Amino acid sequence: MSALYNITYGLYILTAKTHKHSGCVINTLMQVTSSPARISITINKDNYTTKMIEQTGEFNVSILDMSTTFDIIKRFGFSSGKDTDKFLDFEDYKLATNNIPYITKHTNAYISAIVISKTDVGTHITFVADITDSVVLAKTEPVTYSYYINNIKPKPEKSKKKRYVCRICGYVYEGDELPKDFICPICKHGAEDFELIEETKETKPVETITNTSIDKYYCPVCGNIENSIVNDNKCVICGANMIRF
């Protein structure tokens, strides 16, 4: 199924009208024939705009261009027209001759159409429609779905967790603020021996800090730390067996 991601799609604002204006974002518009001029759109059954088109048999499609912002996608794509007036306080539209809105900003053309057939395709409905009007609004490039994903849609915020490194053994604590009573699980030193790792380009990867190549030996009895073993792996302070970390 991963091959489907290589199919190219555009982005469009689909609008309709019953007792009010509404619309949604779609990426499944295609030309069916040129004579007669005919297109198809496919929409989720649960969309409020779908119900409007089923009721009236008419719609407009505004073709979004490369100037598209996330705000317009959010307005028409992130809420339902069933309980939201998507045209409230929105000025970037006009009414076409069919009295249905088309979007005037971030678009390069719009198409008006009348439905001639519909097909249930499972979760979606495909409408085939004859074009009744089409107008070029600007000589700009249409935006693709791929461009939207890579350049317009906000990226997830990076983790805001802080990292603290133990100056004694190199152990890294990751989380919120380092607790004042925190004890290093490796060398048993307290929070006062930790320092915040600044997130800069020069910061070494955590793996480099944590997995230090310098051998250290820790005494589980008295907490003594040595860089090398002496006296048959015995702690020079208490005589207990040293542990390498």
Question: What's the rounded Cα separation, in Å, for the pair 226 and 138?
Answer: 73
Predicted local distance difference test score (pLDDT) of residue 207 = 39
Query: For residue 135, what pLDDT band results from cuts at 50, 70 and 90?
Result: very high
Q: Where are the domains of the chain?
A: 7-152
Predicted local distance difference test score (pLDDT) of residue 137 = 97
User: Where is average pLDDT lowest: 10-19, 85-94, 180-189, 194-203?
Assistant: 194-203
CATH number among 2.30.110.10, 1.10.8.60, 1.10.2020.10, 2.40.30.10, domain 7-152: 2.30.110.10
In the numeric block, the tokens 């983790």 are attached to 159
Annotate the chain with three-state secondary structure.
CHHHHHCCCECEEEEEECCCEEEEEECCEEEEEECCEEEEEEEECCCHHHHHHHHHCEEEEEEEECCCCHHHHHHHHCCCCCCCCCCCCCCCEEECCCCCEEECCCEEEEEEEEEEEEEECCCEEEEEEEEEEEEECCCCCECEHHHHHHHHCCCCCCCCCEEEEECCCCCEEEECCCCCCCECCCCCCEHHHEEECCCCCCCCCHHHHHCCCCCCEECCCCCCEECCCCCCCECCCCCCECEEC
Predicted local distance difference test score (pLDDT) of residue 6 = 79
Among residues of the chain, what percentage have pLDDT more than 70? 78
Q: Is the pLDDT of residue 150 over 80?
A: yes
Burial of 62 (0-12, 13-18, 19+ CB in 10 A): buried
Query: For residue 228, what pLDDT band results from cuts at 50, 70 and 90?
Result: low
- Give the mean model confidence (pLDDT) for residues 178-198: 87
Report pLDDT digits (tens) over 1-12.
668 777 889 999
Q: Is the pLDDT of residue 122 over 80?
A: yes
Predicted local distance difference test score (pLDDT) of residue 223 = 61
Q: Which residue has the higher pLDDT, 149 or 131?
A: 131
Predicted local distance difference test score (pLDDT) of residue 3 = 81
Report pLDDT digits (tens) over 16-63.
999 999 999 999 999 999 999 999 999 999 999 999 999 999 999 999
Are the C-beta atoms of 172 and 163 separated by less than 8 Å? yes
Question: What's the rounded Cα separation, in Å, for the pair 28 and 44?
Answer: 11
Question: What's the rounded Cα separation, in Å, for the pair 168 and 189?
Answer: 8
User: Please, what is the average pLDDT of the chain?
Assistant: 85
Query: For residue 177, what pLDDT band results from cuts at 50, 70 and 90?
Result: confident
Predicted local distance difference test score (pLDDT) of residue 243 = 63
